Chains A and B, each alone.
Chain A
Amino acid sequence: MNSLDALVQPHRVHRSVYTDADVFNEEMSRVFGGSWVYLAHESQVPNPNDFLASRLGLRPLIITRDDDGGLHALFNRCAHRASTVCQADCGSARRFQCAYHGWTYSNRGDLVNLPYPDGYPADFHKADHGLAQVPRLGTYRGLIFGTLNLDAPSLVEWLGPAGPLIDGFVDRSPSGRIEVRNCQRMIYRGNWKLAWDNAGDGLHPTFAHRSFVILNERQHGGARSLSQFKSSPDDTGMYGADLGNGHMFVDQRPGLHQSFWETQRPVPGREWYAEQIEQSTGDGAADVLEMAPGSMINLSIFPNLLIKGNHFETVDPVSVAETRLHTWVVAADGAPDEVNVLRMRIAEDFPSLGNPDDLELFERCQEGLAIAEVEWVDMSKGLGQEATEVSADGVARAPVTYEGPMRGYLRAWLELMSSDVQLTTAAAGDVECEVAA
């Protein structure tokens, strides 16, 4: 792999960034390891001894909460012969026993039982043979991040202006907390960055989601989900922003002229649940119903968390040309149950009606990228016009169809890929955990 600088230029990206297995292998350590990566949400391990399976790039993880409430991100790999020690997606367990030879670990990662202990060398100490784990964890409003890079900036510094935007998403819940529940698991035949490009791309909805826009106009009329992209989206005030460190933001709210609820496409149960809420909350019903739909923002936390609609999507690379895309439903804690029932139906609305078209287009891109002689992917729209407006918090904004957010994340990608990062793992009890917010 030579000269990454030549592959990511200000206005274009080389195809090998999406197709080269060597680039992918480097990404799996420098990006998914060298950077902070979203691992899970605290609400998925709410009680002592809860656990959840996750991944850090290609590394299988077990996120655990010990009986004192502490969080751990254990590599799901027996210290003996490497077998995974946990097969469940989630559950509750104090111990993880390897099925192969019986080595048994606590949910803090300590090796607590070594069967038939005779015969090991004199310098074999159980304390040295626990489950290896992610050495740095950080939480922000319940979102758990991890990195293998001890030199990475603090979590809050790395999030930068993305932090207050996460606050905005979480604070729509009355209790100021969210609850991440189950997920839809989809897989597509394309590089993980195709999903990342898409998340900061305000140019595509008019075309990629034309079926959805036309359907809503024909069937439901008025200003409905995505109608703000029907034509000339840049005239609506919607904008995109590069938030630094690879994070991206697309704000659709200036394109709305009604409440989120009025704009939301009708989903199953809309009428009955709205009526229940109106009966129980009276004048406050409009505010309560407003908690059900998405936030009309696309907030992308590099390299693997997309906050969109009312849900999370995680981007989980499998190989250079295969990616898992998991859509996690998020409940508003403290909201009436009726709101969260509606959130379930809303969280499967665009993902089942709109996402297939996105995935189809990612796969078409990967097909086109196979042509070795046609080398470049163009990302020049709005080049040099990244800051047509600057917000109060200093974030540069540009019209929503400009490609600045993509150029921004690729700059961050290039920096990570070019840096001389040292990755480490930790033993039990040797983990740094930062509670950022």
Chain B
Amino acid sequence: MGAQAASPVDDRLYQRLADLLGPTQPQRPPGHPELRPAVEQALHHEARLLDDRCYRDWLARFTDDCVYWVPLDPGGDPRAQVSYLLDDHRRMADRIGLLETGWAHAQEPPSRTCRIVSNAEAWPLDGGDTLARCSTVVWEHRKDRLTPFAGRNDYVFASLGEAWSIRFKIVRLVDSRGDVRKFSFVL
């Protein structure tokens, strides 16, 4: 049993998440072209880590106050609504730890995935973070079935370049209000 840090999730963090998807976001101007290469480099590297199931390396790219969130109602307040998942670092580690027990039946056999990341845009945020938006399709193959998970993703990068790191990752599935096939790999 490893020592566990307390969850950094508090009211302020929830407010920041809610604001990231708030109603003014569609009016955001075009992204800053000079940020795009570094953001794409990080997004592509992240996609490769996940498709290769290098989950520990992936988790190491997240800040201590990170959130990985798959909302049901993008734009809704996570304090008032349930999501598919809203993980802090601790629950992300649990999600990966579950797969590592060797008894996670839904990943036996494991999914093979191939994700296509496109339409990346990026904007600087106050305090040095970078907001990035992209469209992602994760193609999952498992037990003779190919299932697409299409989402519009939002990232807040705490740093870019070689040592890129993620503060928030939000996966807005296009079918989050419909019937979704179970997933226990990372989207």
Chain A residues near B (Cβ < 8 Å): 89, 181-188, 208, 210-212, 214-215, 217-221, 265-273, 311, 324, 327, 329, 337, 340-341, 344-345, 347-349, 352-353, 355-357, 359-361
Contacts and interface: CB of A to CB of B under 8 A. Distances in A.
A357 B81 CA distance: 24
Nearest to B71: A182
8 contacts: A182-B72, A185-B177, A211-B99, A219-B4, A266-B7, A272-B6, A348-B86, A352-B85
A271 B180 contact: no
A212 B86 CA distance: 18
A344 B82 contact: yes
A218 B82 contact: no
Interface string B107-124: 010000000000000000
Contacts of A345: 86
Nearest to A322: B179
Interface string B1-33: 110101111110010000000000000000000
Closest 10 CB pairs of A and B: A356-B106, A329-B82, A269-B9, A187-B179, A211-B103, A272-B10, A271-B6, A360-B106, A210-B103, A221-B1
B4 A184 contact: no
A357 B1 contact: no
A312 to B, nearest CB: 11
Determine the main DSSP class of A at the interface with B.
helix
Determine the main DSSP class of B at the interface with A.
loop
A268 B87 contact: yes
Contacts of A341: 14, 79
B71 to A, nearest CB: 10
A348 B98 contact: no
A220 B90 CA distance: 10
Contacts of B90: 266, 268
B115 to A, nearest CB: 19
B93 interface: yes
Given A181-B80, A266-B90, A337-B79, 5 more contacts: A211-B99, A267-B91, A269-B10, A272-B6, A357-B184
A268 B98 contact: no
Nearest to B5: A271
B63 interface: no
Given A181-B82, A219-B4, A221-B1, A89 B94 contact: no
Contacts of A265: 94
Given A268-B91, A356-B182, A220 B101 contact: no
A348 B7 contact: no
A186 B182 contact: yes
B104 A266 contact: no
B184 to A, nearest CB: 4
Contacts of A344: 78-83, 86
A391 to B, nearest CB: 33
Nearest to B6: A271
B7 A269 contact: yes
A418 to B, nearest CB: 32
A243 B183 CA distance: 34
Contacts of B91: 267-268, 349
B37 interface: no
B114 to A, nearest CB: 20
B81 A270 contact: no
A348 B80 contact: no
